[in-house]
Amino acid sequence: MRGAVNRKISVIGLGYVGLPVAVAFGSKHQVIGFDVKASRITELQAGKDSTLEVSAEELAAADIIFTADPRELRHADFHIVAVPTPITETNQPDLTPLLSASKTIGGQLKKGDIVVFESTVYPGATEEDCVPILERESGLRAGEDFTVGYSPERINPGDKEHTFSKITKVVSGQDDATLDIVAEVYGSVVTAGVHKAPSIKAAEAAKVIENTQRDLNIALMNELAIIFKRMGIDTLDVLAAAGTKWNFLPFRPGLVGGHCIGVDPYYLTYKAQKTGYHPDVILAGRRTNDSMGRYIVSEAVKELLLAGVPVTGARIAVLGLTFKEDCPDLRNSRVVDIVNELKTYKVDLLVHDPLADRHEAKDEYGVEVCEWSDLKDLDAVIIATAHKQYKALPVAEIRSKIKEPGILFDIKGVVERSAAAAVNLPLWRL
Residues designated catalytic? 260
d(CA 104, CA 100): 6
Pairing of strands 194-196, 315-319: unpaired
Measured distance CA(127)–CA(86) in Å, rounded: 19
DSSP 8-state class, residue 128 = I
For the beta carbon of residue 88, count every other beta carbon within 10 angstroms.
Answer: 10
Do 424 and 395 form a contact (C-beta atoms < 8 A)?
no
Instruction: Please enumerate in sequence order all residues whose Cβ is within 8 A of that of 217, keeping only pairs 6 or more positions apart, or say none.
Output: 249, 251
Who contacts 64 (Cβ-Cβ below 8 Å, separation ≥6)?
22, 23, 26, 30, 31, 32, 33, 44
- With contact defined as beta carbons under 8 Å apart, do 83 and 18 qualify? yes
240 C-beta neighbours (distance < 10 Å), count: 10
Strands 31-34 and 9-12: parallel
Is residue 23 within 8 A of residue 54, CB to CB? The reply is yes
Contact status, residue 74 vs residue 108, Cβ threshold 8 Å:
yes
Which one, of 88, 79, 51, lies nearest residue 147 by Cα? 79
Chain mean position to CA 50: 15
- From residue 246, how far is each of 241, 242, 243, 249, 250 by CA, in Å? 11, 9, 7, 9, 10
Q: What single-letter amino acid sits at 64?
A: I
Biggest CA pair distance of the chain: 75
